[in-house]
């Protein structure tokens, strides 16, 4: 029962080759030296700078911008890496308009913050392109730490441990490192293989071994790691995605946004991807907005993102929402999927119901409905932690409970990134988790 006679339209190569290149080019091209100089000059070098306070990794932003202004780019990059070894990726993907740039006093002065993200990219690119290291390793401690997950949390932890003189072995289920940096972030935010270039830079310090194809629970166990190594850090990520809870979710054309984005990031030929003519995305976070925008950029004719609450509740930043709208994505708020309409085992349309929030803040349907044609339906309503062998740890809200130092309930086991309770699902917070855990591990192993 489709309600129309439309033929499902899913196709590859909807665009000309040049269009793919243009649509997936760097979203924010790097600043030229001149642009960086002009922008750096706008920084007031605030006392106890609000931007630094707003940064989850507490990068001394005023200092690194001053170092750009004084033509000390290596010193600038070092200032950033000291606090955040993934400062290069964070410069590209941080929602700066909600963090450092929101706090910039230039907002009060003239409504236009210093472009901190782009300046950070300028400084970090300088060091990574030159392959110039800013850390040297402390004397070997003879300690060996097992890290599970080569995502931002795991690699940040491994790097800091290496700096402190320890050895780290990282167990990674996938064939490439980087976690969501490699498999999840929108392609136009990290072009030219930057995720891998950054990891090469990070691991170049030495003392870090990555063991691929090792999934916790299947290939290694937490119990064994805890026994074989001096400490364990879990940077597992989420592992699973939420379902809609509707009938027929398994019919053809209904998929998880994270899987499609991973395919998009890994393909060398964007024209090989299946793209629906009518794409419907359900969700309101970064993944939802990214899949909607990228579908549009791959040539989908109509892309509609439907979110169950108001736009102000969307986890996707204002900038991301704006960008998607400019790219032609239709955003419908206050509606939730009611029924998947299939035809011959394939998705054809989705029926939605408008929602409202009652006095207690609970969402309820208004009874009013509408239907959207869908050749492809993406689910992007959040990921959830799948324990995947991280058994026996105390959870909090479905994720691993940790203390301030990122210690789990199990002695000798630390955790960080999206898998821990209170995680903000940002690269920058994952890096901070990894860094803090490494410091705590070091502290513990030295018996201080």
Partner 1 sequence: MPNIRNDFIGIKSPNPFWLASAPPTDKEYNVVRAFEAGWGGVVWKTLGEEGPPIVNVNGPRYGAIHAGDRRVIGFNNIELITDRPLEVNLREMKQVKRDWPDRAVIASIMVPCEEDAWAKILPLIEDTGVDGIELNFGCPHGMSERGMGAAVGQVPEYVGMVAAWCKKHSRMPVIVKLTPNITDVRQPARAAKQNGADAVSLINTINSIVSVDLDAMAPNPHTDGKGTHGGYCGEAVKPIALSMVSEIARDAETRGLPISGIGGITTWRDAVEFMALGSGNVQVCTAAMVYGFRIVEDMITGLETWMDDKGYDRLDDFVGRAVANVTDWQYLNLNYVVKARIDQDLCIKCGRCHIVCEDTSHQAITETVNRARHFEVIDAECVGCNLCVEVCPIEDCISMVAMTEGVDPRTNRPIDGTYANWTTHPNNPAAAAD
Structure tokens at 319: 């900038």
Residue 417 φ then ψ, to 5°:
90, -155
Of 38 and 130, CB closest to partner 1? 38
**DSSP state letters, 377-430:** EEE-S-EEE--TT-TT--EETTEE---TT-B-SSTTEEE-GGGBTT--S-HHHH
> Residues 237, 243, 248, 251: what is their CA dihedral angle, to the nearest 10 degrees?
-30
Nearest to 178 by CA among 205, 204, 202: 202
- Dihedral Cα 37, 42, 46, 52, nearest 10 deg: -70
42/214 with CB nearer partner 1: 42
Among 31, 55, 69, 202, binds partner 1 (CB under 8 A): 69
Q: Per-residue x/- mask for partner 1, residues 162 to 181, rule CB under 8 A?
A: --------------------
3 state DSSP class of 237: coil
CA–CA distance, 223 with 200 (Å, rounded to integer) = 30
Binding residue count for partner 1, defined by CB under 8 A: 17
Residue in 9, 37, 274, 351 binding partner 1, rule: CB under 8 A: 37
Options 15, 27, 74, 106; binder of partner 1; rule CB under 8 A? 106
Q: Site for partner 1 (CB under 8 A): which residue of 38, 138, 204, 405? A: 38
Rg over CA atoms, the chain: 23
User: Among the candidate windows 105-113, 170-178, 403-411, 429-437, which touches partner 1 by CB under 8 A?
Assistant: 105-113
Angstrom distance (rounded) from CA 237 to CA 325: 29
Scanning residues 108 to 127, which ones bind partner 1 (CB under 8 A)?
108-109
401-420: which residues touch partner 1 (CB under 8 A)?
A: none
- Which residue number, 73 or 299, has a Cβ lying nearer to partner 1? 73
Q: Which of residues 39-68 bind partner 1 (CB under 8 A)?
A: 40-42, 44-50
274 interacts with partner 1 by CB under 8 A: no
CB of 119 to partner 1, least distance (A): 14
DSSP code, position 253 = T
Applying CB under 8 A, the residues found at the interface with partner 1 are: 37-38, 40-42, 44-50, 69, 105-106, 108-109
């Amino acid at each position: 029962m489709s309600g129309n006679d439309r033929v499902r339209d899913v196709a590859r190569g909807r665009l000309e080759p040049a269009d793919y290149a243009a649509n997936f080019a760097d979203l924010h091209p790097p600043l030229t030296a001149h642009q960086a100089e002009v922008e750096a000059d706008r920084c007031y070098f605030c006392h106890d700078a609000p931007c630094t306070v707003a940064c989850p990794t507490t990068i001394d932003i005023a200092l690194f911008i001053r170092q750009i202004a004084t033509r000390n780019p290596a010193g600038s990059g070092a200032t950033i890496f000291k606090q955040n070894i993934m400062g290069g990726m964070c410069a590209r993907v941080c929602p700066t308009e909600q963090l450092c740039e929101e706090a910039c006093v230039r907002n009060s002065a003239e409504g236009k913050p210093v472009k901190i993200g782009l300046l950070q990219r300028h400084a970090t690119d300088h060091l990574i392109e030159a392959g110039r290291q800013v850390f040297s390793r402390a004397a070997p401690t003879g300690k060996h730490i097992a890290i599970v997950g080569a995502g931002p949390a795991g690699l940040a932890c491994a790097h800091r441990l290496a700096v402190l003189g320890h050895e780290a072995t990282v167990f990674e289920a996938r064939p490439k490192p980087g976690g969501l940096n490699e498999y999840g972030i929108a392609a136009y935010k990290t072009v030219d293989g930057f995720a891998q270039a950054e990891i090469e830079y990070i691991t170049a310090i030495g003392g870090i071994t990555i063991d691929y194809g090792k999934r916790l629970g299947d290939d290694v166990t937490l119990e064994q790691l805890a026994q074989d190594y001096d400490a364990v850090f879990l940077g597992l990520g989420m592992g699973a995605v939420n379902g809609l809870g509707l009938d027929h979710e398994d019919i053809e054309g209904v998929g998880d946004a994270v899987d499609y984005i991973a395919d998009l990031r890994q393909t060398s030929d964007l024209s090989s991807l299946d793209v629906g003519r009518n794409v419907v995305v359900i969700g309101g976070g970064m993944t939802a907005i990214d899949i909607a925008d990228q579908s549009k950029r791959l040539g989908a004719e109509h892309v509609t993102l439907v979110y169950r609450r108001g736009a102000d509740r969307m986890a996707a930043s204002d900038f991301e929402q704006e960008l998607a709208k400019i790219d032609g994505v239709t955003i419908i708020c206050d509606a939730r999927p009611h029924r998947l309409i299939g035809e011959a085992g394939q998705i054809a349309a989705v029926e939605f119901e408008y929602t409202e929030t009652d006095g207690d803040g609970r969402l309820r349907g208004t009874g009013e409905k509408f239907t959207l044609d869908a050749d492809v339906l993406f689910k992007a309503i959040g990921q959830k932690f799948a324990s995947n062998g991280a058994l026996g740890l105390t959870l909090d809200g479905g994720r691993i409970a940790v203390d301030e130092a990122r210690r789990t309930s199990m002695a000798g086991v630390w955790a960080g990134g999206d898998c821990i309770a209170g995680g903000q699902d940002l690269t920058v917070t994952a890096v901070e988790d990894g860094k803090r855990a490494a410091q705590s591990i070091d502290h513990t192993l030295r018996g201080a």
